[in-house]
Amino acid sequence: MKLPEDCRWSFPPVSDWDAREDVVAVGADLEPDTLVYAYSRGIFPMYLDEENKALGWWSPTRRGIVPLDGLRITKSMRQSARKYKCTVNHAFDQVIAACSSTHETGNWINQQFIDSYTELHEQGIAHSVEVWDGPYKLVGGLYGVRINGFFAGESMFHKERDASKVALMYLVDIMNAASMTLLDTQWKTEHLASMGGIEIPRAEYLALLEQAVAE
Residues 78 and 35 in one domain: no
Q: How many CA atoms lie within 13 A of 156 on its CB side?
A: 25
- Alpha-carbon dihedral sign for residues 115, 128, 183, 77: positive
Residues 70 and 176 in one domain: yes
* 72 occurs within a structural domain: yes
Residues 36 and 77 in one domain: no
Residues 69 and 51 in one domain: no
Look at residue 199 and tell me whether its pLDDT is greater than 70.
Answer: yes
Among the listed residues 53, 52, 50, 28, the one whose alpha carbon sits nearest the alpha carbon of residue 39: 28
Among the listed residues 138, 136, 118, the one whose alpha carbon sits nearest the alpha carbon of residue 126: 118
Strand partners, 156: 142
Question: How many angstroms separate the CA atoms of 197 and 192, rounded?
Answer: 5
Contacts of residue 83, defined as CB under 8 A and 6 or more positions apart, other chains included, come to 133
| Inter-residue contact 25 to 54 (CB < 8 Å) | no
Question: How many angstroms separate the CA atoms of 96 and 107, rounded?
Answer: 12
What percent of the chain is modeled with pLDDT above 70? 98
CATH number assigned to the domain comprising residue 31:
3.30.70
Residues 115 and 79 in one domain: yes
Residues 56 and 141 in one domain: no
**Overall number of domains in the chain:** 2
Look at residue 210 and tell me whether its pLDDT is greater than 90.
Answer: yes
* 163 occurs within a structural domain: yes
- Provide mean pLDDT across the span 173-190: 97
Note the pLDDT of residue 103.
Answer: 62
For residue 89, count CB atoms less than 10 angstroms from its CB and return exposed for 0-12, middle for 13-18, buried for 19 or more. Answer: middle
Residues 39 and 68 in one domain: no
pLDDT, one tens digit per residue, over 90-148 is: 999 999 999 998 765 557 799 999 999 999 999 999 999 999 999 899 999 999 999 99
Q: Domain limits at 72? A: 64-214
**Confidence category of residue 20, pLDDT binned at 50, 70, 90:** very high
The model's pTM: 0.94
Residues 121 and 168 in one domain: yes
Note the pLDDT of residue 107.
Answer: 72
